[in-house]
Amino acid sequence: MNRLEPDSKSQFDGYARNYEETLQHGLRVSGEDSDYFAKGRMEWLRYRIGRFKPAEELKFGMDFGCGTGNSVRHLSSILGLTKIVGLDTSEDSLHHARQRYSQIHFSFANPFAYRPAGDLDIVFCNGVFHHIPIEARPKALEVIRSSLRPGGWFAFWENNPWNPGTRYVMSRIPFDHDAITLSIPQAKQMIVDNKFNVLSVDTRFYFPRAVKWMRPLETWLCKLPFGAQYLVLAQKPKEPSP
């Protein structure tokens, strides 16, 4: 998803067919494939939410900017969601996602055809906002907030521009060439300004495969602002704002 404007053709329509190959070209320098990072994000999210001991079980969620659906199966198998909706402005990407996941509990839609009902337990979003123009980001966050139930979780993952490895990987990926990245402070302020409560901020993915024996240290490094990606975990307020 790169824009939040009706009737605009997404740049990702041109990459839907070979999205994975294009992404892997950029990630190859890490020694890992995209699924390593997709699983790592979801496992850390499960761990982080678990630290807050939520009383409600997570069942119904959204992948905002789902692309071809790479995160959907991990939302189901790792996070335990039983019903998932994926939103994306790229119709070609949605077509591929529907072909990959025909199960009745997975659905995919353009955000302009989706009507938020305020009933989602969690919205997951990875590497999407650096493709959304700055002026359109509040509208995207409004869609997310309106989709969540009171107390629902918002898992905001983004690429960390303070990490030189991240900047190099993005330079190798054609669809990231127009990215407008967000630093951790910028992302946190944006989320707060749009009426979410920020609960925690973590960074992940410090070590490439060549030194994977060092990866157990990442749990201890998560509060430093230098990992390749970061997670801002937020909640929609349980009570309406005054």
Structural domains for the chain: 11-235 (3.40.50.150)
Reported as half-sphere exposure (CB side, CA atoms, 13 A), residue 62 has a value of: 29
CB-based contacts of 126: which residues, under 8 Å, 6+ apart?
38, 41, 65, 71, 157, 158
- The Cα–Cα gap between 61 and 49 comes to 14
Q: Summarize the confidence of residues 71-98 as an average pLDDT.
A: 93
The conformation of residue 30, written as its DSSP 8-state character, comes to G
Q: Summarize the confidence of residues 145-156 as an average pLDDT.
A: 97
Mean pLDDT of the chain: 90
Helix ranges (DSSP H) in the chain: 19-27, 34-51, 72-77, 91-100, 137-147, 164-171, 184-193, 218-221
- Per-residue pLDDT band for 2 (boundaries 50, 70, 90) equals very low
Q: Summarize the confidence of residues 67-74 as an average pLDDT.
A: 91
Please report the pLDDT score of residue 54 as a whole number: 80
Please report the pLDDT score of residue 173 as a whole number: 87
- 129 near 155, Cβ under 8 Å? no
- 127 near 67, Cβ under 8 Å? no
Q: Summarize the confidence of residues 79-91 as an average pLDDT.
A: 94
pLDDT higher than 70, residue 212: yes
- The Cα–Cα gap between 103 and 224 comes to 40
Which helix (H) or strand (E) is 84 found in, with range?
strand 83-87
Q: Summarize the confidence of residues 131-137 as an average pLDDT.
A: 95
Over the Cα atoms of the chain, what is R_g? Answer: 17
pTM for this predicted structure: 0.92
- The Cα–Cα gap between 93 and 215 comes to 33
